[in-house]
Structure 1
Amino acid sequence: MIRVWTVKHPWLVPGFWVSMLLIEGQSCSFLIDSAVKGAVDATLAPFLRERRIPWSAVRQVLNSHSHSDHVECNAQLRELTGAVFSIHRNGADSLRASGFIPDRELADGDEVYDGDVCVRVIHTPGHSADSICILEPETGTLFTGDAVQGCGSDNIGLPLYDSPVAYRASLERIRRLCASGEVRRMVLGHPERPSNGEIEQPELLPFLDLCIETADNCMRTAEELLKRNPQTEKAELRDVLLARFGGSASLTWPELSYNTAEALLRALRS
């Protein structure tokens, strides 16, 4: 029997976290993402101790993408577990540049087997070129990392992506997967509005429809501004997007919303 656990490491501000996914089989366990510095000692180690899962049982670690808040504990976990570390091939060079050498480079459709655990890799670029989702088929759990952004987090205010076209296409692909019945539960890398970061049936399709609607609204807004002023800068677009779609909370990382505005302008001007 496979058991799947969401491990949430509190981060930055109250109510915000970065997640890891532990897939526990009879003979071994997989971990998806390693989170930020301090997460292993403060959150993951106590979690494993409580369930009497030894470090040696963690035989595979997969990174959903190479952004630092999802990989910073890789080196520590390698020392503790001796696990095989994998990342999509588009993120392998970034991981190497940080000083960590992955053992395996993944591609869309790959399956990772170990003992009685098997997961499938789904390449879902948009947030980043190397973003993947990991599907555990027995429980129907899909870990999305940052590939699914909802309406954006309270920290940033907007969905965060570097390619709006790829991001929307990935959302459509994930929606089709959920509509097929293969996915019964979706776990995000962070609590993206309006979710708590974990979405169950029957809310999967409505949530993904909201993600797609939000992406479309951001693109339409950028198109409107460029039509009125072809010289529109990212700061102006970002301010308009936040005013329309950014929620009411104070932003911890307001500067990151510039990335989405820049990505939209780049796509429309290309």
Structure 2
Amino acid sequence: MSMTSNFADCLRDWEDLEKDYQHIQETQRLYREKLDEVARLQTSCSGAISRQKKQLRQLSQALRTYKDSASGAEVCAIDEIQAQINNRPNTFFEMEAFLPKKNGLYLRLVLGNVNVTLLSKQAKFAYKDEYEKFKLCLTIIILVFSFSLRFLMSTRALDAAFSFLLVWYYCTLTVRESILISNGSRIKGWWVVHHYVSAFLSGVMLTWPNGTFYQQFRNPYLAYCLYQKGFQSWMWRGLTFLLPFLFFGHFWQLYNGLLLFQLTRHPDCKEWQVLMCGLSFMVLFLGNFCTTLAVVKQKFQSKKK
């Protein structure tokens, strides 16, 4: 009796699983149909936007040509149409954030022509949130690593591991930021360039052989890394009172660049890494200093308005 009951239960379980399997097959079929439909809509929408942009450019040029001989009422109508035309790029930008687009040169070199466009705001927010968590986690690791190298241990092998970590970190940031830009994020161009330069600088430090000049620059460099990760990662979170610390970090970059240029003047300095690191720090200083001034000026102007 017990075996019959157990077998009957198994049959019922199998029937339930079979129904669920049929439902899965139907759902998967609908899913593939929707994917094909989405692909067709994406192609249609992208083509329509491209045509609209081209026609708007032609119309704008024609209106400018006609405006010279237009009457007063026509000039007002032309200005109104022109104002609406000028607002269209912002709308198209928001539309294209959800449409597949060709990857930039950097992403093509790294990922090929893989589509990196996320199709929903939730997915975009989740990716941006994961990007911020990645930066925070690596910042803590770099802080601990740089503190240990500066105060607790001193071996070239660990220095090389630290430089390799920085190269990987900044290269990963550039890839993630390129994906964010492809999905509509308005990341300032300098911050992306900053990470390219930082990756190059870390790579040069990785190849710098151990010697007198490396040891002279090692401790200032590690102290700079410790300061940078300790303060600059939180600078743009509304903490205006930390701006002096931010500018201090910028002038530290200037100091590092001048120190390295001074080392290049030594007659025994034959290492190309000294000059390359010096140039990298000067580029970082100029870019960061000018960008920070522009952001501060913009914030003050916004407050006045």
Q: What's the TM-score bracket when you normalise by the shorter of the two chains?
A: under 0.3
Q: Decide which structure has greater helix share.
A: 2
* Larger Rg over CA atoms: 2
